[in-house]
Amino acid sequence: MTTTLDRPGHSVRDHMTPSRYRISRTRQDTRDTFTVVLEPVDGPMLHYKAGQFTMLDAFGVGEVPISISGDPTRPGPLEHTIRDVGAVTHALIAAPRGAVLGVRGPYGTSWDVADGEGGDVVVVAGGIGLAPLRPALMEIVAHRERYGRVVLLYGARTPEDILFGDELRSWARDRGVVVEVTVDNGQHAWRGKVGLVTNLVPRAGFDPHATLALVCGPEVMMRSAAQALVARGVPGDRVRLSLERSMKCGVGLCGHCQIRELFACVDGPVLGYDRLAPLLSIREL
Ligand SMILES: Cc1cc2nc3c(=O)[nH]c(=O)nc-3n(C[C@H](O)[C@H](O)[C@H](O)COP(=O)(O)OP(=O)(O)OC[C@H]3O[C@@H](n4cnc5c(N)ncnc54)[C@H](O)[C@@H]3O)c2cc1C
Ligand code: FES
């Protein structure tokens, strides 16, 4: 494990002191999920890689890790797509326009989508897991000609929970991305697929021996998706998962995110299935 503090010229204080960002806009994506757009109060826009996260501080309430969900190819306001599940996420999505939040980061490993150039890319997302994958998809569609088949398999709870619907349609229509959406519960005139997203893997059109697979969602879904991808013939080290563990420091100091020898905040969150497979059955510590 290498901590983020090993970067030359950075002290603990540098890493633990948040920068001040102002909310320029909050967009409601679904009934419980919102995208918060932030601009630095002072200082430059943040550069980041697809898959990295920040520690977002709702001052006085608490600090949580949230993946950056914006476009890494076009530095601009910082986007985070947040599901309202508890005290801190609620404070973040409910803060008014103009409110100031703390931001530390970007932290962690990235999807490294360029490793998929020259071959096919399969993205498997479950629920809010599409948010950490959105920057990877944006990077791929920005350089679409560098990739073969690009397939997005996305599972949501209900049709109302589908995130980024306009983008999914435009990637399919204009950028040659095969988008397959399935829902757990398909009432309300839904004419699409119903069932687990992992059920879409066996029939998806990609060459398993020349594929990079990116997976994010609930841990049980990631485990099944990774198993299905490996069963299709995708090598374990070409299947990447984004690991969610509760975090406190985000920089490899507190041990809160530790699973055996791995610290999810600095060794992850994006890790190869070859390294994660033995650890995925271990419950959060
Ligand atoms: C690297 C990383 C990236 C993340 N990216 C996003 C993101 O892009 N969007 C987003 O909405 N959330 C993301 N999360 C999850 C987010 O950090 C948690 O939802 C948040 O910490 C909950 O805090 P809370 O105070 O609002 O709720 P709490 O009261 O702390 O928790 C409410 C519920 O959420 C569950 N929960 C708490 N933390 C986590 C966690 N880390 N993973 C899964 N379940 C959790 C709890 O078990 C509980 O059931 C990410 C987590 C990590 C580690
Ligand atoms: S969150 Fe503190 S070590 Fe990972």
Domain boundary among 73, 107, 141: 107
The better pLDDT of the pair 189, 268 is held by 268
The mean per-residue pLDDT over the stretch 211-220 comes to 96
CB of 16 closer than 6 A to ligand 2?
Answer: no
Cβ-based neighbour number of residue 226 at 10 Å: 26
pLDDT band, residue 272 (cuts 50/70/90):
very high
Q: What's the confidence (pLDDT) of residue 7?
A: 55
The mean per-residue pLDDT over the stretch 70-85 comes to 94
From the list 162, 143, 125, the residue with the least C-alpha distance to 242 is 125
Residue 285: pLDDT over 50: no
Same-domain status, 144 and 172: yes
pLDDT band, residue 3 (cuts 50/70/90):
low
User: 249: CA distance to ligand 2 center in Å?
Assistant: 5
Question: Is 283 a member of any domain?
Answer: no
Same-domain status, 131 and 253: yes
Same-domain status, 103 and 122: no
Same-domain status, 100 and 118: no
Average pLDDT in the chain: 92
From the list 195, 191, 171, 198, the residue with the least C-alpha distance to 182 is 195
Pocket test of ligand 2: the residue of 15, 253, 267, 284 to mutate, having most ligand atoms within 8 Å of its CB, is 253
Q: What's the confidence (pLDDT) of residue 284?
A: 44
Could you read off the pLDDT of 236-256 as tens digits, one per residue?
Answer: 999 999 998 889 999 999 999
What ligand is nearest to the CA atom of residue 54? Answer: 1
Same-domain status, 33 and 131: no
Count structural domains, the chain.
Answer: 2
CATH of the domain at 123: 3.40.50.80
Q: Atom 32, ligand 1: which residue's CA is nearest?
A: 86
Same-domain status, 69 and 148: no
Same-domain status, 62 and 127: no
CB of 247 closer than 6 A to ligand 2?
Answer: yes
| Continuous H helices in the chain | 12-16, 87-94, 130-142, 165-174, 219-232, 273-276
| Cα Rg, the chain, nearest whole Å | 18
Same-domain status, 196 and 212: yes
Atom of ligand 1 nearest to the CA of 62: 25
Question: Is 285 a member of any domain?
Answer: no
Same-domain status, 178 and 67: no
Pairwise CA distance, residues 247 & 54, whole Å: 11
User: 252: CA distance to ligand 2 center in Å?
Assistant: 4
Atom of ligand 2 nearest to the CA of 253: 3
pLDDT band, residue 279 (cuts 50/70/90):
confident
What ligand is nearest to the CA atom of residue 53? Answer: 1
CB of 78 closer than 6 A to ligand 2?
Answer: no
Question: Is 37 a member of any domain?
Answer: yes
What ligand is nearest to the CA atom of residue 257? Answer: 2
User: 160: CA distance to ligand 2 center in Å?
Assistant: 34
AA letter at 250: G
User: 114: CA distance to ligand 2 center in Å?
Assistant: 27
Question: Is 281 a member of any domain?
Answer: no
Question: Is 20 a member of any domain?
Answer: yes
Domain boundary among 74, 107, 140: 107
Question: Is 233 a member of any domain?
Answer: yes
User: 256: CA distance to ligand 2 center in Å?
Assistant: 5
Same-domain status, 97 and 123: no
From the list 92, 37, 95, the residue with the least C-alpha distance to 64 is 92
What ligand is nearest to the CA atom of residue 30? Answer: 1
Percent of the chain clearing pLDDT 90 (strictly above):
83
Domain boundary among 61, 87, 107: 107
Residue 231 exposure: Cα atoms within 13 Å on the Cβ side: 13
Same-domain status, 103 and 194: no
Atom of ligand 1 nearest to the CA of 90: 26
pLDDT band, residue 50 (cuts 50/70/90):
very high
Question: Is 159 a member of any domain?
Answer: yes
CATH of the domain at 27: 2.40.30.10
What is the extent of the structural domain holding 247?
Answer: 113-276
Question: Is 282 a member of any domain?
Answer: no
Same-domain status, 125 and 157: yes
